[in-house]
């Protein structure tokens, strides 16, 4: 919004999850918040720009078709007449100064957006790990991931989502599991028993991106929130089964399970 | 937390005479959470944290003395300990996390005798002597099973004496969730006298692995333990490791401790 309207980022207020502001929505799922929500914002900004051009035409005394908007400035084609976004926004609310009854005052718009298709982010995650055959302990040595999320709005946040997703997926693959006893009592009811992944369980990630604009939304963006969490469990388990030489292992691949799986590993038998 | 009375003791004599039916408070890392959960409800606590005579680490050239209120971090960082028994400093440096190490004490740890605690294995393997306000107790007699020790009501540990060893190391396999020892093995050698102590695994707390001691007495090498199996009978089993897995890990950790010693 800042770059689209040419206004400082500090002038943009972000309101999270307020149903008083957004009357209708379907929540966040399928990594759709960015692709759907930001497309709706983009559509609303189209309306803002169109309305602001009408205001600018009055203020700059030109015909609406001659108004151009670029880098936060309204200009009249072929002249040096100009006004910035802020002053036009103010004029929109004090319309009595220039406007008869032709234009409704105000510069407030909303837009709804229902995408024509899903977004299809794609990527490859490569997990390299070592198994200590004596204990079954799995150590992840290296993680290389390249994802295509289309156009990226905030690279820092997107990369952070990938990092967190990988950690969550590694937890699912190696450590986490809700366990109940025979009476139905949850045994893993605290972090003394439920194993969350810790920093020491994870390597430094090597994360990259390619950009292929998504055709099904105006910003060309794709979902990124689930990519790391979806890619990482199969990457970890494939690496383990590759090391073992067989596929007889279930998640979470705890050290005891891996140790037992090593006993029937052809690689181990070959080594002996 | 419920209401209780608190007395900050100034000396061992003051602590012992004022404890009555109450409990001694050392680092409090076990006692306080236990009280919050009402699993123990002493009405009176005698706080040992200001008792100067319970603090300090010294060495006379053959015996390392660690006073009871020494924090794990103090033992881990002590030049005296590092010079006398470096593996003991390493053991203390691997207990819990930094918060635990700066609060927990050696006296509190061994008085509690948690079956997954690290210090009991170190004391047992090194043949330590537990010194109380009343007497001196050999580690072999002190640890008497799950959360059970030779301590009588009102008896206070004042120090632990560790005779030097030619070699000593402690290696543990951590529970992946709690990071406590799933299996911890301490190995000490003095000449041909070898002691191997195991924590974390035994359903009755820390114990000595006599077969390994015999095997290592003639040949102090990891290879001497090849083929030696620990029975899973009497070992703990839970979601993080069956008794069979723990039995196997005892052998692995023992070999690694011998190699590290």
pLDDT > 70? residue B58? yes
Are A50 and A142 members of one domain?
Answer: no
pLDDT > 80? residue A95? no
Cβ distance of B176 and A255 shorter than 8 Å: yes
Cβ distance of B242 and A256 shorter than 8 Å: yes
Are B249 and B208 members of one domain?
Answer: yes
In chain A, residues 125-154 whose CB comes closer than 8 Å to chain B: 134-135
Contacts of B245 in chain A (CB under 8 A): 256, 259
Give the CATH number of the domain where residue A201 resides: 3.30.365.10
Contacts of A175 in chain B (CB under 8 A): 176-177
Q: Which residue has the tokens 């440096």?
A: B93
Whether residue A93 is contained in a domain is answered as yes
Query: Quick count: other Cβ atoms within 10 Å of Cβ A16?
Result: 5
CA distances from A53 to A71, A73, A76 (A): 14, 10, 10
Are B69 and B91 members of one domain?
Answer: yes
Are B155 and B179 members of one domain?
Answer: no
pLDDT > 90? residue A4? no
Cβ distance of B176 and A135 shorter than 8 Å: no
The per-residue pLDDT for A73 is 92
Does A259 reach chain B within 8 Å, measured CB to CB? yes
Q: Which residues of B have a CB under 8 Å from any CB of A?
A: 173, 176-178, 239-242, 245, 248-249, 252
How does residue B25 score in pLDDT terms, banded at 50, 70 and 90?
very high
pLDDT > 90? residue A145? yes
Are A160 and A257 members of one domain?
Answer: yes
Residues A96, A201: Cα–Cα separation, whole Å: 65
Are B141 and B177 members of one domain?
Answer: no
Over pLDDT 90: what percentage of chain B? 100
Query: Quick count: other Cβ atoms within 10 Å of Cβ A196?
Result: 13
Nearest C-alpha neighbor of A119 from the set A28, A33, A227, A221: A221
The per-residue pLDDT for A15 is 83
Are B81 and B23 members of one domain?
Answer: no
B130 membership: H or E segment, kind and range: strand B129-132
Cβ distance of A192 and B178 shorter than 8 Å: yes
Give the CATH number of the domain where residue B64 resides: 3.30.465.10
pLDDT in tens, A235-265: 999 999 999 999 999 999 999 999 999 998 8
Domain final residue pick, B134, B163, B192: B163
The per-residue pLDDT for A28 is 76
pLDDT in tens, B147-195: 999 999 999 999 999 999 999 999 999 999 999 999 999 999 999 999 9
Are A35 and A129 members of one domain?
Answer: no
The per-residue pLDDT for A271 is 57
Segment A76-91 shows an average pLDDT of 92
Are B158 and B173 members of one domain?
Answer: no
Whether residue A108 is contained in a domain is answered as no
Domain count, chain B: 3
pLDDT in tens, A8-31: 889 898 888 777 877 777 777 877
**Which residue from A minimizes the CA distance to B179?**
A192
pLDDT in tens, B76-111: 999 999 999 999 999 999 999 999 999 999 999 999
Are A192 and A78 members of one domain?
Answer: no
For chain B, give the mean pLDDT. 97
**Which residue from A minimizes the CA distance to B177?**
A195
Task: Give the closest of B178, B239, B241 to A179, CB-based.
Answer: B239
Q: Decide: helix, strand or coil at residue A69.
A: strand
CA distances from B59 to A168, A179, B80, B85 (A): 49, 48, 7, 10
Cβ distance of B239 and A187 shorter than 8 Å: yes
Segment A63-70 shows an average pLDDT of 92
Are A69 and A139 members of one domain?
Answer: no
pLDDT > 60? residue A100? no
> Nearest-CA distance from A193 to chain B in Å?
5
Residues B36, A77: Cα–Cα separation, whole Å: 76
Are A127 and A247 members of one domain?
Answer: yes
Domain count, chain A: 2
Task: Give the closest of B178, B245, B252 to A256, CB-based.
Answer: B245
Helices (H), ranges, chain B: 12-18, 31-36, 72-77, 79-84, 86-93, 98-101, 106-112, 119-126, 139-142, 210-218, 243-260
pLDDT in tens, A204-220: 999 999 999 999 999 99
Q: What residues have CB less than 8 Å from B135, skipping those under 6 apart?
A: none
Are B114 and B199 members of one domain?
Answer: no
Are A143 and A219 members of one domain?
Answer: yes
Domain final residue pick, B121, B141, B163: B163
Q: Decide: helix, strand or coil at residue A89.
A: helix
pLDDT > 80? residue B250? yes
The per-residue pLDDT for A243 is 95
> Residues in chain A, how many?
272
Whether residue A188 is contained in a domain is answered as yes
Residues A235, A251: Cα–Cα separation, whole Å: 12
Are B184 and B201 members of one domain?
Answer: yes
Give the CATH number of the domain where residue B200 resides: 3.30.390.50
B171 membership: H or E segment, kind and range: strand B167-174
Helices (H), ranges, A109-154: none
> Nearest-CA distance from A194 to chain B in Å?
6
The per-residue pLDDT for A202 is 96
**Residue range(s) defining the domain that contains residue B229:** 167-260
Cβ distance of A259 and B248 shorter than 8 Å: yes
Are B205 and B105 members of one domain?
Answer: no
Are A91 and A158 members of one domain?
Answer: no
Cβ distance of A254 and B178 shorter than 8 Å: no
The per-residue pLDDT for A97 is 72
How does residue A52 score in pLDDT terms, banded at 50, 70 and 90?
very high
How does residue B56 score in pLDDT terms, banded at 50, 70 and 90?
very high
Task: Give the closest of B177, B239, B249 to A135, CB-based.
Answer: B249
Whether residue A113 is contained in a domain is answered as no
Are A83 and A131 members of one domain?
Answer: no
Domain final residue pick, A64, A97, A130: A97
Are A198 and A92 members of one domain?
Answer: no
Contacts of A255 in chain B (CB under 8 A): 176, 241
DSSP per-residue string spanning A142-188? EEEEEEE-BS-S-HHHHHHHHHHHHHHHHIIIII----B-TTS-BS-
Segment B121-133 shows an average pLDDT of 98
Are B180 and B253 members of one domain?
Answer: yes
The per-residue pLDDT for B16 is 97
Prediction ipTM score: 0.91
Does A187 reach chain B within 8 Å, measured CB to CB? yes
Least confident of A18-22, A125-129, A220-224, B225-229: A18-22
Segment B9-38 shows an average pLDDT of 96
Whether residue A59 is contained in a domain is answered as yes
**Residue range(s) defining the domain that contains residue A234:** 122-271
**DSSP secondary structure letter of residue A6:** T
The per-residue pLDDT for A113 is 86
Are A148 and A195 members of one domain?
Answer: yes
Residue A34, both tokens: 């960015």
Segment A85-98 shows an average pLDDT of 85
Are A92 and A148 members of one domain?
Answer: no
Contact A126, A145 (CB under 8 A): yes
């Amino acid at each position: 919004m800042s770059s689209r309207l040419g206004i400082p980022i500090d002038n943009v207020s972000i309101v999270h999850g307020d149903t008083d502001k957004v009357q209708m929505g379907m929540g966040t799922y399928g990594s759709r918040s960015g692709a759907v929500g930001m497309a709706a914002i983009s559509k609303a900004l189209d309306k803002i720009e169109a309305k602001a051009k009408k205001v600018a035409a009055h203020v700059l005394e030109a015909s609406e078709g001659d108004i151009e908007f670029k880098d936060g400035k309204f200009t009249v084609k072929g002249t040096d007449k100009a006004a910035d976004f802020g002053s036009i926004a103010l004029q929109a609310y004090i319309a009595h100064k220039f406007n008869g009854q032709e234009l409704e005052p105000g510069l407030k718009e909303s837009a709804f957006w229902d995408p024509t298709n899903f977004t299809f982010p794609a990527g490859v995650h490569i997990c390299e790990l070592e198994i200590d055959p004596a204990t079954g302990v799995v150590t992840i040595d290296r993680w290389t991931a390249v994802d295509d999320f289309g156009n990226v709005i905030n690279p820092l946040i997107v990369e952070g989502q990938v990092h967190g997703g990988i950690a969550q997926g590694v937890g699912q693959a190696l450590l986490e599991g809700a366990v109940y006893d025979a009476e139905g009592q949850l045994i893993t009811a605290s972090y003394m028993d439920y194993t969350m992944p810790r920093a020491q369980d994870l390597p430094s990630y090597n994360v990259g991106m390619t950009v292929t604009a998504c055709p099904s939304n105006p910003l060309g963006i794709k979902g990124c929130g689930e990519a790391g969490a979806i890619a990482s469990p199969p990457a970890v388990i494939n690496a383990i089964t590759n090391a073992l030489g067989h596929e007889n292992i279930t998640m979470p691949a705890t050290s005891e399970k891996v140790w037992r799986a090593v006993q029937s590993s052809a690689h181990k038998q070959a080594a002996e | 937390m419920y209401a209780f009375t608190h007395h900050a003791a100034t000396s061992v004599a003051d602590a012992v005479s004022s404890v009555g039916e109450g409990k001694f408070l050392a680092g409090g890392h076990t006692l306080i959470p236990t009280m919050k959960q009402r699993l123990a409800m002493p009405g009176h606590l005698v706080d040992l944290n200001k008792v100067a005579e319970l603090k300090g680490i010294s060495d006379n050239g053959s015996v390392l003395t660690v006073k009871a209120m020494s924090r794990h971090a103090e033992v881990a960082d002590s030049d005296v300990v590092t010079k006398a028994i470096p593996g003991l400093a390493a053991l203390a440096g691997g207990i819990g996390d930094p918060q635990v190490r700066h609060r927990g004490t050696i006296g509190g740890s061994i008085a509690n005798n948690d079956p997954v605690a690290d210090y009991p294995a170190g004391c047992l393997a090194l043949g330590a002597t537990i010194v109380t306000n009343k007497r001196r107790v050999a580690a072999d007699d002190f640890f008497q099973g799950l959360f059970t020790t030779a301590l009588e009501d009102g008896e206070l540990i004042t120090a632990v004496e560790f005779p030097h060893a030619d070699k000593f190391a402690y290696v543990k396999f951590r529970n992946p969730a709690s990071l406590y020892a799933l299996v911890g093995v301490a190995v000490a050698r003095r000449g041909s006298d070898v002691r191997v102590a195991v924590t974390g695994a035994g359903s009755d707390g820390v114990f000595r692995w006599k077969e390994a001691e015999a095997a290592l007495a003639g040949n102090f090498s990891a290879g001497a333990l090849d083929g030696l199996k620990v029975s899973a009978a009497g070992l703990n089993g839970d979601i993080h490791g069956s008794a069979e897995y723990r039995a196997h890990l005892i052998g692995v950790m023992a070999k690694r401790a011998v190699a590290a010693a």
